[in-house]
A and B are shown apart, each in its own frame.
Chain A
């Protein structure tokens, strides 16, 4: 089996310290208030995609298809080449985080590629959120990853491949859960 080198098979495993937390004991409440949700209601409601890829929809997109959509829907705010404008910069920061002028963009900073799909689908384009099709969201995600040199020109992003993309800053975050919560220190 041929596997592109940008795949990471363990991509859905969370980085050390970022993952599991205890399930608290919560007293059951028998108030008979609220309505049970149906599967159809949950499916229509749920747009949350996690790093493991849960809830990524069917569909796919390539950088080539993404460029056409990007130029039309995204470039006005994020710049022709992703350099930023009234919207944040998307490319160019890889290698800059530990310097005196760090640039936090998708390529340099974002730890998971799934976040791209999740965010574009839920909140972009700024003036018309949730207007892109799933194929278009995959394609724009692919194009932004390609602009950052993270995936090749011919990569196809879909529910299987996107969670396997290795982001350069995947291990760049330190969870402060244990240290900061409750004490604030």
Chain B
């Protein structure tokens, strides 16, 4: 009798050396197993140690990419983060969602200048080197476009969580605080707003209430997850306003102008305002309200048979820490508390998990976030009741994923 160590089976050399005559080996049969007992990648030297001086994802992960929004409007450039493929809370830099209104400019570090003027004692120009000399901070914060889930107000439109929620990402940001730069320039009494303007073809600008910007730790960031900002994230410098709608986090930052009141730029009047049913519109609705979404299982995924699955998702709030996430598998009839992955940081993505056994029946999966202010993520019905159907921005409604008896998961409004 011969005992064949399956880990050594296919290797002829081992067979010949280690096994008694009469042993029956069928390497061809073993080759049909996956992975093979001694795989080919163990039988030859791998790629050179520095084959990719800037590391690349595994070739098998090629489908994990951002997805461009389909729109006929020229100024609607946006690409969405593949949340269904990501784990934990930090978004890889190459997958961080992108929204721009005039393309991505190429700005060299030597050509970069930031002007700080308006109601200041000493108008100043800073180079990138200047900003890097100043005291720095690092902080992990999510960023979300206020147009995220904006197509979901009236009916389910996104097939995947990338399409419904992919204008959401999270990074560790490093830079110098706004208050340091303003402390150098000296802000004059009466200045309550700071207009931040980008150096792109849209010269996109937003007015920021100064007191609130400082309170939330506004930062002039030049690094993201340890490396320089990506061009599409504002290289070399962007404004980071933790918890504020993404559009205010001005990329390619070229100008900070201190003013008494807001500039009423196009992006804070014609856009990024929420039209209500009575014809009035909410303006300067900066803070992203608490929201959550299940990323696994989520739209377009398919459950591989009945049994155990760990439901997993993301929760976040522009107002601080996530306090709790409840999960429902019956369309909101009953709720169970999910486990929150620590550390739970303010204005940062928080991963939640809940064990679940799928019995093969139809199920509707939902998650509901509660933040430290006590704010509870609303249902779509409640949100529509408050804002009507034409607000477009700030849709933070509970998302529903229907699991069909086939195992297919689809986006529904439940």
Residue interface mask A148-176, B partner, CB < 8 A = 1: 00000000000000000000000011111
Of B32-40, B225-233, B257-265, the stretch lying at the interface with chain A is: B257-265
Of B160-168, B208-216, B300-308, B323-331, the stretch lying at the interface with chain A is: B208-216
- Given A47-B203, A114-B264, A175-B284, CB of A181 within 8 Å of CB of B102: no
Closest chain A residue to B266 by CB distance? A119
A24 interface hit (Cβ, 8 Å): yes
B130 interface hit (Cβ, 8 Å): yes
A126 interface hit (Cβ, 8 Å): yes
B102, B211, B283: the one contacting A174 at CB < 8 Å is B283
Residue interface mask A110-136, B partner, CB < 8 A = 1: 111011001100110010011000000
Interface of A is mostly: loop
A-side interface residues, number (CB < 8 Å): 62
When distances are taken between beta carbons in the complex, the residues of chain B under 8 Å from A97 are 275, 279, 281
Report Cα–Cα, A184/B191, bound state, in Å.
24
B192 touches A20 (CB 8 A): yes
A102 touches B279 (CB 8 A): yes
B264 touches A21 (CB 8 A): no
A177 interface hit (Cβ, 8 Å): yes
Known: A48-B263, A172-B281. 12 other contacts (CB 8 A): A18-B262, A23-B190, A28-B186, A36-B124, A37-B123, A86-B72, A86-B73, A110-B269, A111-B264, A123-B204, A126-B75, A180-B286
A29 touches B180 (CB 8 A): yes
Report Cα–Cα, A18/B289, bound state, in Å.
21
A182 touches B319 (CB 8 A): yes
B293 interface hit (Cβ, 8 Å): no
When distances are taken between beta carbons in the complex, the residues of chain A under 8 Å from B283 are 18, 173-176
B-side interface residues, number (CB < 8 Å): 82
A21 touches B273 (CB 8 A): no
B116, B134, B264, B375: the one contacting A50 at CB < 8 Å is B264
B354 interface hit (Cβ, 8 Å): no
A119: min CB distance to chain B, Å: 4
- Given A47-B203, A174-B280, CB of A118 within 8 Å of CB of B287: no
Closest chain B residue to A52 by CB distance? B261
Closest chain A residue to B189 by CB distance? A23
B211 touches A24 (CB 8 A): yes
Residue interface mask B273-295, A partner, CB < 8 A = 1: 10101111111111111100000
Residue interface mask A17-60, B partner, CB < 8 A = 1: 01111111011110101111100011001111111100000000
B286 touches A31 (CB 8 A): no
B139 interface hit (Cβ, 8 Å): no
Q: Which of B309-331 contact A (CB under 8 A)?
A: 317-319
When distances are taken between beta carbons in the complex, the residues of chain B under 8 Å from A47 are 197, 203
When distances are taken between beta carbons in the complex, the residues of chain A under 8 Å from B205 are 48, 122
A184 touches B210 (CB 8 A): no
Report Cα–Cα, A177/B116, bound state, in Å.
24
- Given A33-B184, A36-B123, CB of A27 within 8 Å of CB of B74: no
B263 touches A49 (CB 8 A): yes
A143 interface hit (Cβ, 8 Å): no
Report Cα–Cα, A23/B122, bound state, in Å.
17
A41 touches B255 (CB 8 A): no
When distances are taken between beta carbons in the complex, the residues of chain A under 8 Å from B125 are 34-37, 41
Of A21, A86, A123, chain B has the most CB atoms within 10 Å of the CB of: A21
A21, A23, A184: the one contacting B317 at CB < 8 Å is A184
B133 interface hit (Cβ, 8 Å): yes
B192, B265, B317: the one contacting A118 at CB < 8 Å is B265
B25 interface hit (Cβ, 8 Å): no
